[in-house]
Amino acid sequence: MAARTLKLDRKLYPRAALDEAAAAFGELAHVEIRVEDGYHRIRFSEVATAAADRIADEFANFALIQAVERARREGAA
């Protein structure tokens, strides 16, 4: 069981987007999000072996999708 970390800018990736991503990835790893300076520090622990190499990248993509779709919904409202 490997552990991985990922840093994403707080101004570019809203917390709500990360929470949605964390919920989606809950079955693959334990996801912990902390705020450090201007960043979200995301720590993946108990990562499923098959997902270990890609989990941070996939998580970042998922968070990006959520951030964009959220911004579009808010813009349309």
Partner 1 sequence: MAARKNKPGARLDVRRGTAVVEVATRLYPLEAVLGAAYVFVDRCYLRVERAGRGCLAVRLKSKEGPVAREALEALVGEFENELLHHALRDRLQKTRGRLREYLVARALLTAEESRVLPEPAEDRRDAPAAAGGAPAPDSAGGGDDYLDDPLGIAVPWEERYGDKAKGGGDGGG
b vs e for 18-56, b when ≥16 Cβ sit within 10 Å of the residue's Cβ? bebbbeebeebbebeeeeeeebbebebeebeeebbeebb
Residue 19 found at the interface with partner 1 (CB under 8 A): no
Q: Among residues 49 and 75, whose Cβ is nearest to partner 1?
A: 75
Task: Please select the residue that binds partner 1; options are 12, 16, 23, 35, rule is CB under 8 A.
Answer: 12
Task: Note whether 24 binds partner 1 by CB under 8 A.
Answer: no
Q: Give the amino acid at 19.
A: D
Using the rule CB under 8 A, give the single segment among 18-26, 28-36, 41-49, 60-68 that binds partner 1.
60-68
